[in-house]
Amino acid sequence: MSGNPLAFRTTIAAPIAALAALIAAGTAVRAEPPPAAKAFIKQLKLTQDVLKGWEDEHKVPAEWVEKAKKEDTLRIYGSWDNKQFREMSRAFTERYPFIKLSYTRGNSNTRVTKPLIAFKEGRYVADLLTGIGGAIFLFREANALTDLKVLPNFGKLPEGMGSETGIWAGLRTRYWCMSYNPKLISKADMPKRWEDLLTTAKLKDGKLALGRLPQLWLLPLWGTKGEGWTVDYMKKIFSQVRPQRRKEGMNALVNLVAAGEFTAAVATAGYRVKFLVDKGAPVAWHCPEPVPVAISEAGILRNAPNIHSAYLYMNWLLSKEGQLAQFVTSAEAPAHKELFGKGFLSLPKEIEGKSIAFRSPELLGNEVEKKFFGTWTPLWDNTAK
């Protein structure tokens, strides 16, 4: 698969005959959602078109369930905080009370590098990984991930939100735009297009903070506008706008915008701004066009000790129930193809009706990324000639 996931095109991968036969003899579908799901269905006031087929998405091979009952604790690594994970997974544990969950929250080194090193040594510290990000190519090279196309709900992903080989699935979409302090600049003065940022006087000479992760917003623009445009744009950002080079994390930049440390920051995820907006902080979110979009990838380690439990959890997480449980607890936009365009966004008015620049994980770990950072790094380090 490739292309823009927001084009609402469906994945065309037909299930293999063996999987179809297993599902036909699969577990019985519940008469109704579990209590935790009922609670957020009521909270979100879900309409019948969203609820249609809800329980059918939880019909899985009976063999998976029986084997999962004999497995040990399912180990999951991710970036949700512990409270979010517990709340998000409540409906899952009500569906599968025999599966015990162990969750580890960590940075990229903890949730990605550590499990990969262990796998290469013949050990497993985790079964299921989320937030793999730019390290996906390392897992591909090590043949470390199982094929997720065996999951019934893998087919619920829009085009581009799942790997062609099935080794990763997109769990959520993240829109990487700008945060700004409305006390220091008005909405009307914010750039409408990324090109306009170069000529916005109120954001020049240190009033704009530039984060250290350009792959979040500039790499999607490379994919949409091409190498020539992006290389030229990088050079002009540093020479004409003269931003602050900030080494803090992206979330920390939002807090500093609210504190008035600088007028605006790039790049910022909408869900993080909404958390502060809801608390009354002087911060807002703004998306120039095209809106940079990235996905958060998840995978299951090949031959993981608790692989059937991992199948059940991943399939649940890709269902409407799992996707909306995630949305309710972490305010992140769902990846399910039937939930796009249904208003499940943190700050929808900043996105709706705008063109999209999508960063596929396939752009990471290849020649494109090498060229990208080959230009960016000298500019960031101020060593470019």
**pLDDT tens digits, residue range 164-180?**
899 999 998 888 999 99
Domain housing 305: 5-173+294-334
| Cα–Cα distance list, 40 to 117, 194, 275, 327, 345 (Å) | 38, 37, 19, 10, 15
Co-location of 98 and 218 in the same domain: no
Query: What CA–CA distance (Å, rounded) separates 270 from 351?
Result: 10
- Per-residue confidence (pLDDT) for residue 88, from 0 to 100: 97
**Which amino acid is it at 141?**
E
Distance of CA 362 to the CA centre of its chain: 14
Radius of gyration of the chain measured on its C-alpha atoms:
21
CA distance 137 to 167: 10
Shared domain check, 156 and 47: yes
**41 and 153 share one domain:** yes
Residues 50 and 164 in one domain: yes
Report the 10 Å Cβ neighbour count for 7: 12
pLDDT of residue 362: 66
Does any domain span residue 157? yes
Query: Is residue 322 a part of any domain in this protein?
Result: yes
In the 3-class helix/strand/coil scheme, how is the chain assigned residue by residue? CCCCHHHCCECCCCCCHHHHHHHHCCCCCCCCCCHHHHHHHHHHCCCHHHHCCCHHHHCCCHHHHHHHCCCCCEEEEECCCHHHHHHHCHHHHHHCCCCCEEEEECCHHHHHHHHHHHHHCCCCCCCEEECCHHHHHHHHHCCCECCHHHCHHHHHCECCCECCCCCCEEEEEEEEEEEECCCCCCHHHCCCEHHHHHHCHHHCCCCEEECCCHHHCHHHHHHHHCHHHHHHHHHHHHHHHCCEECCCCHHHHHHHHHCCCCCEEEEEEHHHHHHHHHCCCCCEEECCECEEEEEEEEEEECCCCCHHHHHHHHHHHCCHHHHHHHHHHHCCEECCCCCCCCCCCCCHHHCCCCCEEEECHHHCCCHHHHHHHHHHHHHHCCCCC
Tell me the residue type at 165. T
Q: What is the pTM of this model?
A: 0.75
Indicate if the alpha-carbon torsion angle 366, 249, 205, 176 is positive or negative: positive
The residues, any chain, with a CB within 8 Å of residue 252's CB and separated by 6 or more, are none
| Domains held by the chain: number | 2
Question: Is residue 246 included in any domain, yes or no?
Answer: yes
What confidence score (pLDDT) does residue 17 get?
44
Kindly report the backbone phi and psi dihedral angles of residue 230, in degrees, each rounded to the nearest multiple of 5, phi listed first.
-70, -40
**Sign of the alpha-carbon dihedral angle for 274, 277, 282, 287:** positive
- Does residue 185 fall inside a structural domain? yes
On whether both 31 and 180 belong to a single domain, the answer is no
Contacts 24+ apart (CB under 8 A), 43-50: 43/328, 44/324, 44/328, 46/324, 50/320, 50/338, 50/339, 50/342
Residues 233 and 367 in one domain: yes
CATH number at residue 257: 3.40.190.10
pLDDT at site 93: 98
Same domain as 230, residue 357: yes
For residues 282 and 303, state if they share a domain.
no
Residue 268 — φ and ψ, nearest 5°?
Answer: -135, 135
In whole angstroms, what separates CA 215 from the centre of its chain? 14
- Check whether residue 207 and residue 273 sit in a common domain: yes
How many residues comprise the chain?
Answer: 385
Task: Confirm whether 141 is domain-assigned.
Answer: yes
Same domain, 129 and 57: yes
* Cα–Cα distance measured from residue 213 to residue 174, given in angstroms and rounded to the nearest whole number: 14
Residue identified by tokens 């470390």 is 144
**Res 218: pLDDT:** 94
> Are both 168 and 286 inside the same structural domain?
no
Instruction: Judge whether 343 lies within some domain.
Output: no
| pLDDT value, residue 356 | 84
Tell whether 323 is covered by a domain: yes
Taking residue 368's Cβ as centre, other Cβ atoms within 10 Å add up to 15
In a domain, 143, yes or no: yes
Cα 174 from Cα 331, distance rounded (Å):
10
User: Does one domain contain both 251 and 300?
Assistant: no
- Can you read off the two tokens belonging to residue 331? 């305010």
185: left (phi over 0), alpha (psi -120 to 50) or beta: beta
The pLDDT value given to residue 18: 44
Q: In the prediction, which pLDDT does 358 show?
A: 81
> Residues 343-363: pLDDT tens digits?
788 788 898 889 888 887 766
Each residue's pLDDT tens digit, 24-57: 445 656 679 999 999 999 999 999 999 999 999 9
List the pLDDT tens digit at each of the 385 positions of the chain: 334 333 323 232 334 444 444 444 456 566 799 999 999 999 999 999 999 999 999 999 999 999 999 999 999 999 899 999 999 999 999 999 999 999 999 888 889 999 999 999 999 999 999 988 778 889 999 999 999 999 999 999 987 788 889 999 999 888 899 999 999 999 999 999 999 999 999 999 999 999 998 988 999 999 889 999 999 999 999 999 999 999 998 889 999 999 999 999 999 988 889 889 999 999 999 999 999 988 889 999 999 999 999 999 999 999 999 999 999 998 888 989 998 767 788 788 898 889 888 887 766 667 888 899 999 999 999 886 6
Residue 258 CA to residue 268 CA, distance in Å, equals 13
